């Protein structure tokens, strides 16, 4: 039987969540930090641990069949790959930032200025679209110190909380791109049976993450009120309790509006509400 190869980041911001996702898909493997390649013991899959920058090209060239990488990583390398699935982690924004007291207030003010970045391709495309000419200085790390060193007037970098910017006396002034981790594949791989199976597993894990299993008790007289509050559920299970006139309701609700629903359910007469994580939802 043939073996698929998946490339994931060896270490860094995407590594832990990528490993966790594969483990949640029921794949067993050793995650030795020192090895570059590991074999999954219960699925025909090999995992390659690489620098994130290399993953898009490895997938495009077929050295790996699929890979997990940030959307920004794909945009930066301009490769021809197939997007298979958004993965819901590794969310970040790429922003332009300037020193707090800079004269640069708008994107137009960047004309003729210098910008330091590790993402020159994404930045150049953005500037072209805006019709702006700036001097892009490509550096591989610690972009945020370059204005302080007199190396650049502005920076273009990944920002999550903004703490790093602030501690370097910088403020963001324009969002250029939002990114999250995605599963990519080499062209044509989407019709492969093993890929279909792996993606089904990934989707069931992701669906489960977005929902909770809720069990609650309610007096029969309040049952209709409580059921009316349970959204998007085809048909919750209603089971009789030993105590006369009471039932237990079992259902699955979305995590997003979780607290809203719990409080509304309580006011509608629900008691002993138990909320449990779900491991997988197979559709």
Shorter beta-carbon distance to ligand ATP: residue 9 or 217:
9
Residue 73 makes contact with ligand ATP by CB under 6 A: yes
- Residue 92 binding partner per list Zn ion, ligand ATP, none, with a CB distance cut-off of 5 to 8 Å that depends on partner kind: ligand ATP
Least spacing, CB of residue 158 vs Zn ion, in Å: 10
Asked if 97 and 172 count as a contact pair (C-beta separation under 8 A), the reply is: yes
Residue 92 makes contact with ligand ATP by CB under 6 A: yes
From the number of C-beta atoms within 10 Å of its C-beta (0-12, 13-18, 19+), residue 17 rates as middle
3-state secondary structure of 84: strand
3-state secondary structure of 147: coil
Residue 179 makes contact with ligand ATP by CB under 6 A: yes
Distances (CA, A) of 273 to 81, 123, 166, 235, 280: 46, 50, 43, 18, 21
State the number of CA atoms in the 13 A half-sphere of 279 facing the CB. 4
Residue 138 makes contact with ligand ATP by CB under 6 A: no
Shorter beta-carbon distance to ligand ATP: residue 52 or 65:
52
DSSP state of 146: T
Q: Which residue is nearest to ligand ATP (CB)?
A: 70
Shorter beta-carbon distance to ligand ATP: residue 159 or 253:
159
Of residues 28-67, those binding ligand ATP (CB under 6 A): 51-53
Asked if 59 and 184 count as a contact pair (C-beta separation under 8 A), the reply is: yes
d(CA 215, CA 182): 34
Residue 52 makes contact with Zn ion by CB under 5 A: yes
d(CA 270, CA 254): 18
Residue 72 makes contact with ligand ATP by CB under 6 A: yes
- Residue 91 binding partner per list ligand ATP, Zn ion, none, with a CB distance cut-off of 5 to 8 Å that depends on partner kind: ligand ATP
Which stretch in 19-27, 89-97, 167-175, 217-225 sits in contact with ligand ATP by CB under 6 A?
89-97
Residue 71 makes contact with Zn ion by CB under 5 A: no
Residue 70 makes contact with ligand ATP by CB under 6 A: yes
Least spacing, CB of residue 167 vs Zn ion, in Å: 22
Least spacing, CB of residue 190 vs ligand ATP, in Å: 22
Reduced DSSP (H G I as helix, E B as strand, rest coil) percent helix, strand, coil of the chain, to 5: 30, 30, 35
d(CA 241, CA 270): 14
**Beta-strand pair 237-240/246-254:** antiparallel
Measure CA 134 to chain center. 31
Residue 255 makes contact with Zn ion by CB under 5 A: no
Least spacing, CB of residue 242 vs Zn ion, in Å: 59
Q: Which residues make up the interface to ligand ATP (CB under 6 A)?
A: 9, 12-14, 51-53, 70, 72-73, 90-92, 158, 160, 179
Q: Which residues make up the interface to Zn ion (CB under 5 A)?
A: 52-53
């Amino acid at each position: 039987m043939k073996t698929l190869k998946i490339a994931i980041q060896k270490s860094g911001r995407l590594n832990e969540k990528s490993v966790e996702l594969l483990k949640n898909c029921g794949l067993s493997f050793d995650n030795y930090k020192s090895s570059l390649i590991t074999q999954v013991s219960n699925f025909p899959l090999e995992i390659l641990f690489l620098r994130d920058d290399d993953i898009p090209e490895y997938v495009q060239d077929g050295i790996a069949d699929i890979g997990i990488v940030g959307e920004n990583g794909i945009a930066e390398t301009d490769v021809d790959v197939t997007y298979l699935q958004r993965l819901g982690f590794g969310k970040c924004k790429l922003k332009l930032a300037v020193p707090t007291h800079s004269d640069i207030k708008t994107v137009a003010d960047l004309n003729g200025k210098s910008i330091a970045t590790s993402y020159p391709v994404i930045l150049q495309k953005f500037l072209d679209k805006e019709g702006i000419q700036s001097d892009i200085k490509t550096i591989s790390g610690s972009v945020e110190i370059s204005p302080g060193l007199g190396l650049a007037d502005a920076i273009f970098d990944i920002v999550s909380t903004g703490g790093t910017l602030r501690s370097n006396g910088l403020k963001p002034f324009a969002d250029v791109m939002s990114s999250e981790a995605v599963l990519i594949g080499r062209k044509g791989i989407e019709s492969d049976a093993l890929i279909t199976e792996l993606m089904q597993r990934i989707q069931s894990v992701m669906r489960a993450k977005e929902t909770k299993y809720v069990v609650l008790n309610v007096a029969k007289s309040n049952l209709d009120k409580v059921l009316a509050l349970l959204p998007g559920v085809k048909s919750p299970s209603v089971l009789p309790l030993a105590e006369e006139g009471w039932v237990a309701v079992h259902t699955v609700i979305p995590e997003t509006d979780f607290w809203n629903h719990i409080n509304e359910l309580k006011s509608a007469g629900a008691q002993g509400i138990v909320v449990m994580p779900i491991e997988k939802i197979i559709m």
